[in-house]
Amino acid sequence: MDGSRIQNALDRLDVRDYVSTHVGSIQAEIDNGEELRVICPFCDDHKGKMYINTVKRTVFCQKCRYGVGVGFVRFMSEAEGIPKHQMMMRLVQSSAYIGADVNSLLDSVMSTGEDADAPEDDLILKAHSIDLPDGSMQLFRGRNLHRLRAAERYLRGRLSEEQCTRDRFYVWRNRVLIPTHFAGEIVTWVARDLTGKSNRKYMTPTGVSQGLWIFGWDRIRNNDDVVIVEGCFDAYAVERAGYACGASFGKHLTDVQCDLLSRFGRITVLYDQDAIASSRESALRLERRGVDVRVGILRHGDPDSYTKDDLRSVIESAASPHSSEFIRQYLEAV
């Protein structure tokens, strides 16, 4: 993971709050809270010999000498007993940090336009579009995605090509930006080509790992029974069929995504027809985290190409990855 992203997330961390929540009660505060004294979790300290500097993000125990050559992220992971890479992922997630370039673009897009009362989870953001192809928006209206917030500042040539290139916005021309929210913050997006001419149908912001997030998370987080698909348009299709649905941005779940999804009681994995093996693999990984998992098998295409009734039939007939019913459906589909 990019070290600058970790550092930015670490800089935004409320160290005092973290220490009191995950390390232990604060015994004393020194220099107006710049340094905290706590009981060391790594030795038999009972007097608060560990000192944590909230400004420099350093830690040192006067009794066991813990902290020499130890970075703050490593300290956090060892204090909580979790792998360092998981702590780095969680740190980035909790800060919802996505980089200055991404934030500046999103701030500009979100600060102007129409349909301001529409729920943010339901919005598609239209980026700078010169010569928007006729009828291209039917692609989205056909999916009930008609509520668009037009970023007027970036439409119809109000910025010159030179300005767009300079500001790094021109790359999003003729695309629709579909945001992903996490705890109310936009953390990443998928940019769908409108022209049909680009060799990259979908684009995502540089330096942002899609594997940290689940598309539609804020919409599904309070449900117990959810469906997980590959892409955002598949998720919209399943939602229209009446199910809480998120997307994994591809046919493989990352460790961080599995950790996020482990909160749900039951999950149906519904990947494209050409990813049945990946569906089962993802289901088994979730099962190892204590989730009741089913796998839905499509006979062709992806969920977005199915009618509501057909999707309901597939989801309701989803089977355990260990069952004979799964094997039967798999053999019929391949």
Quick one: pLDDT band at residue 206, thresholds 50, 70, 90?
A: low
Identify the pLDDT of residue 173. 63
Domains and their CATH numbers in the chain: 3-95 (3.90.580.10), 100-208 (no CATH), 217-333 (3.40.1360.10)
**190 vs 215, residue with greater confidence:** 215
Identify the pLDDT of residue 184. 73
In DSSP terms, 319 is beta-bridged to: 295
In the chain, the percentage of residues whose pLDDT exceeds 90 is 34
Question: Burial code of 52-82, b = ≥16 C-beta within 10 A, e = fewer?
Answer: bbbeebebbbebeebbeeeebbebbbebeee
CB atoms within 10 A of CB 240: 15
Q: At 131, give phi and psi (nearest 5°).
A: 60, 50
Identify the pLDDT of residue 332. 79
- Kindly report, residue by residue over 49-85, the tens digit of the pLDDT: 999 999 999 999 999 999 988 899 999 988 888 878 7
Q: At 26, give phi and psi (nearest 5°).
A: -80, 120
In DSSP terms, 268 is beta-bridged to: 227, 294
- Kindly report, residue by residue over 289-312, the tens digit of the pLDDT: 999 999 999 988 999 899 999 999
Q: What is the mean pLDDT of residues 274-302?
A: 92
- Kindly report, residue by residue over 233-267, the tens digit of the pLDDT: 899 889 989 999 999 999 999 888 999 999 999 99
Cβ partners under 8 Å of residue 235, min gap 6: 215, 216, 229, 245, 246, 247
Q: Which of 57-62's residues contact partners 24+ apart within 8 Å by CB, and which partners?
A: 57/10, 57/13, 57/15
Residues 151/187, Cβ–Cβ less than 8 Å: no
Quick one: pLDDT band at residue 224, thresholds 50, 70, 90?
A: very high
- Kindly report, residue by residue over 87-135, the tens digit of the pLDDT: 877 776 655 433 333 344 444 433 333 333 333 333 444 443 333 344 4
> CA-CA distance, 274 to 281, in Å (whole number)?
13
Q: Considering Cα of 213, then 214, then 220, then 226, what sign does the dihedral take? A: negative
What mean pLDDT value characterizes the chain? 76
Q: Of 231, 235, 236, 287, give the one whose Cα is nearest residue 258.
A: 287
pTM of the model: 0.59
Identify the pLDDT of residue 126. 45
- The first and second tokens of residue 321, run together, are 């990855």
In the chain, the percentage of residues whose pLDDT exceeds 70 is 72
